[in-house]
Amino acid sequence: MKFNYLIERIFASRWIAGPLYSDAINVSFKLKKRHILSMINFLGENYSNKSDIKSNVDEYLKLIKKIGKSNTNSSISIKPTQIGLLYSKSELYKNYSKIVESAKKYGIMVWLDMEEHQYVKQTIDLYLLKISSKNTGICIQSYLKRSMNDVKNIVKNNGYIRLVKGAYKESKNIAFDSREKVTENYANIMLYLFKNSKHFLLATHDLNMIELSESLNKKYKRDVMYAMLNGIRNREAVKLADSGHKMIIYVPYGTQWFKYSYRRLREASNLKLVLRSLLSRQNIN
């Protein structure tokens, strides 16, 4: 148990900015120097206690003000179970609206992370609530079989999608059960976005998907941004930014690092990449 904790803490130190929002801001400054934006997330999930939820919302409101004053052009990403999804619909909607409106004053983008499958519909409904604010986006996971239909619905409403492969453990009835099928669905959804959406974000460490997207964009000429997780493939992110691609790195901070790190370790399809992130330096100076 102590050994597992030690191993995961070593990984966490590579992927997580630190315990404070100032740590994430510091990383954002370094990224900006390399023409890479940051998407900052305060770690934590599955809160049902109202005082904990309020504390999370207050943290995001402080983070928004700090970003606004920092001139890093960072966005934020929040999990619905951080801000009231497991407490009540009214509390969730109230807190999300408060965060979005606060961020809008500073010109900050608010992304909704996608969590386990049982929260997908509620998360999409939440997103549609403030979609007209124009400073919101939502994560969609290609490993879920329902995701293509969700993407079509969101695009129909002029939404802004961040496409990922996904890292939660789900049943075969709900999710694709192989790396190849998840990647195939990612490519299919990506093609749909190129054909039907003006702008979107492709979050992937899969260089084959990036190469395919570059080919598609020669034809469709969309406003595409690429995203990666902090500490996994930072060097590649720098190369992409240097070649003129719009790049953003997901920068988590806080003390609740365990679940986030565990999901990274559990991604068997990314095992070699994850090990490489531990053995090679991914710092951006």
Q: How far is CA 266 from the centre of its chain?
A: 17
What confidence tier does 277 reach under pLDDT thresholds 50, 70, 90? low
Using the predicted structure, report yes or no on whether residue 252 has a pLDDT greater than 90.
yes
What confidence tier does 283 reach under pLDDT thresholds 50, 70, 90? low
Cα distances (angstroms) measured from residue 85 to each of 126, 259, 261: 10, 18, 23
Using the predicted structure, report yes or no on whether residue 11 has a pLDDT greater than 70.
no
What confidence tier does 267 reach under pLDDT thresholds 50, 70, 90? low
In the chain, what are the domains? 2-114+201-279 (3.20.20.220)
Q: Which amino acid is present at 218?
A: K
Work out the mean pLDDT of the chain and round it to a whole number.
Answer: 90
Pairing of strands 75-78, 246-253: unpaired
Q: What is the pLDDT of residues 109-168, one digit of tens each?
A: 999 999 999 999 999 999 999 999 999 999 999 999 999 999 999 999 999 999 999 988
Q: How many residues does the chain have?
A: 285
Give the sign of the dihedral formed by CA 166, CA 170, CA 176, CA 180.
positive
Distance CA 244, CA 225 (A): 11
What confidence tier does 284 reach under pLDDT thresholds 50, 70, 90? low
By the 8 A CB rule, do 228 and 236 touch?
yes
Q: Which of 40-49, 77-86, 124-133, 275-284 has the lowest mean pLDDT?
A: 275-284
Average pLDDT over residues 195-209: 96
